Amino acid sequence: MRMRARPPAVVLALTLALGCSPEGERLPDAAVELLDITGDHCAGLPRSGYAELERVPVSDDWFEVYRVETGVYALYEPFQFQEVISYLVLGDEAALLFDTGMGIGSISGVVDELTALPVTVLNSHTHMDHVGGNAEFSRVLAMDTEFTRERARGRPNRLVRSEVAPSALCRPLPEDVTEDTYHTRSFVVTQYIRDGHVIDLGGRRLEVLAVPGHTPDAIALLDREAGFLWTGDSFYEGPIWLFAPETDLDAYETSMRRLAALSADLTTVFPAHNTPVAAPDGLPRLVEALERVRSGEMAGSVSGPGVEYSFDDFSLLLRAGTR
């Protein structure tokens, strides 16, 4: 498999060199002009893994929707460098939207086209590229952490406008979104939850697994009966970002060991970026990779002040000086 960065390596190097988290301080204007995902990156979309999936037509062309399993839809945003994927999971009586994307297109309108069931939102974590559409929904579950409460306040334009600069996109923005007005809307949490919380959709039960590390409020979502695991940003094919100030590498390793222990009973993993379907054996391979990195066995390459450790279908991007 050809591994493509999220964003491409040149963009990541620039972001790190400027001391910015992937969704943190606004890039200076001169730097935004250098940030460019056009060319090979845009020409290669959607990624090859989508060719085997059933495309579901929806009216909002900011999204591409794929049926990845019976009652499970991937809502993909391919035209912005994050390539974020949200998931709509259907039961007999209710539906769960796991993440709400960038807030560029109207994700609630897409959801309404896919189901008439009552919808609850739950986020894999509260980085801005996963909560952008939360404000469009009346029922939002969230982890009971201070990080979550702070992030629910939203993000102003000055902190997120670089996410919608022309050089960060593969096509123009929708007509009602501009670089000068884009922001992450605040949202109201209707219920705070903790590890082990179970969401019963009727004929489908989803278990919340706290997996802090990438962020303090990171979770995975488990359908034990079907063998499905949604991993958020804890695991996906491509460079896994572990360099933000809120990332705790010790906690991340513990969390990944927890997920890897489930792999023998899983049939499918659904990540939050790049491609929506991954093999469960990636989880124990990630743990092994992390062990090699942290023991000093694995050499990395410098990317700005960050270091990237590359493996077959993923890489680990750590802060310089951490292991």
Q: Is 179 exposed, middle or buried (0-12, 13-18, 19+ CB in 10 A)?
A: middle
* pTM for the whole structure: 0.91
Q: Across the strands, what pairs with 45?
A: none
- What pLDDT is stored for residue 323 in this prediction? 75
- pLDDT value at position 34? 39
User: How many residues are present in the chain?
Assistant: 323
Distance between CA 9 and CA 94 in Å, rounded? 40
309 beta partners: 316
CB-based burial of residue 298 (10 Å sphere; 0-12 exposed, 13-18 middle, 19+ buried)? middle
In sequence order, the 6+-apart residues with CB closer than 8 A to the CB of 175 are none
- Residue 304 has a pLDDT of 56
| pLDDT (0 to 100) of residue 24 | 43
Q: In what order do the strands lie in the sheet with 198-200?
A: 198-200, 205-210, 219-223, 228-232, 268-271
Show me where the domains of the chain are located: 9-319
pLDDT recorded at residue 41: 82
pLDDT per 10-residue tile (average), the chain, 323 residues: 42 43 41 51 89 97 98 97 97 98 98 98 98 98 98 97 94 96 98 98 98 98 98 96 95 98 98 98 98 94 80 93 78
5 token code pair: 């960065």
How many angstroms separate the CA atoms of 268 and 278, rounded?
6
Contact predicate 246/215, CB 8 Å? yes
CATH numeric code, 9-319: 3.60.15.10
